[in-house]
Amino acid sequence: MTAIAFHASHEQIHPRALLEAVCHAEQVGFDAAMCSDHFAPWSERQGHSGFAWSWLGAALQATGLSFGVVNAPGQRYHPAIIAQAIGTLAAMYPGRFWAALGSGEAANEHVTGDAWPRKDVRNARLRECVDIIRALLAGDEVSHDGLVRVDRARLWTRPEQPPALVGAAVSVETARWCAEWADGLITVNAPTEHLRRMIDAYREAGGRGPVHLQVHLSWANTQAEAEAIAYDQWRSNVFAPPVCWDLATPEHFDVVSAQVPMARLAEVVNISADLGRHTGWLEDYIELGFDQIALHHVGQDQRPFLDAFGTQVLPKLAHP
């Protein structure tokens, strides 16, 4: 059975409205939730970027859902602080929280004023952070001198069972690398053959734990409206690495996405007014073997999407 989750996009929605949305998602039948963790949106049109860790405490208290968050330790966040944040939420809400860890994007990390490292350095830094976070969650005192530095850190409040640390990947190569250290894998929607290769690479390299998929979608009562929502809110998010990793500000994303064609947007967002087509896409992803699929409607008004999918899509899917 595949859990169907609601993705809470802090970059697009005020955190108060986002809390209302996730509560409604639980009411209409979603099984779980996850959220982003950015310092800035990808476009001035999106217009928000609340602090994920403050919001997560409220959302876990307000619902009975399990939650995940995608985080980039090592520059904007010191790994000891992220370990403390993970440990506290997991101690307060046992079995309901997981964190996915990635190497980050300049749009969020440049705010520290530090240089933005090469991708190979970012991966090495992430690997150090993972080991530091695991050791702290296990109760060890940690000192470390490397790409990040830690001096005699210890977590005084820890969960009885450390939560899963999931690897975030968009390429087959990164999925294979995540198998070395992760308790699961998360990726975003792509052609089914690519997704199959990613799952296979992760499992064949010894990857353990659940595999998660985040699906970007746009639905409305008419095709024209669904396309307009997607084009307004998500055309700044069509760029493959390294472009999406290395642009620094929402203004940069808005400039380079000014002339993005709708056909390019349709490659990264499932756009349709037909709920049956959305159901079919999700059935294809479920057949690939994903353990959890998080639905991200890229519009800023979440209520119509939640009501429509809660009544006409979720009941047709094999989920808890």
With a CB cutoff of 8 Å and minimum separation 6, the contacts of 266 are: none
pLDDT 10s digits, 172-218: 999 999 999 999 999 999 999 999 999 999 999 999 999 999 999 99
Identify the pLDDT of residue 300.
97
> Mean pLDDT over all residues of the chain?
97
pLDDT tens profile 218-245: 999 999 999 999 999 999 999 989 999 9
Q: Model pTM greater than 0.75? A: yes
Count other Cβ atoms within 10 Å, centred on residue 204: 11
Contact criterion met (CB below 8 Å) for 270 and 285: no
Which pLDDT does position 143 carry in this prediction?
98
The SS3 of residue 150 is strand
Digit-coded pLDDT (tens) for 128-186: 999 999 999 999 999 999 999 999 999 999 999 999 999 999 999 999 999 999 999 99
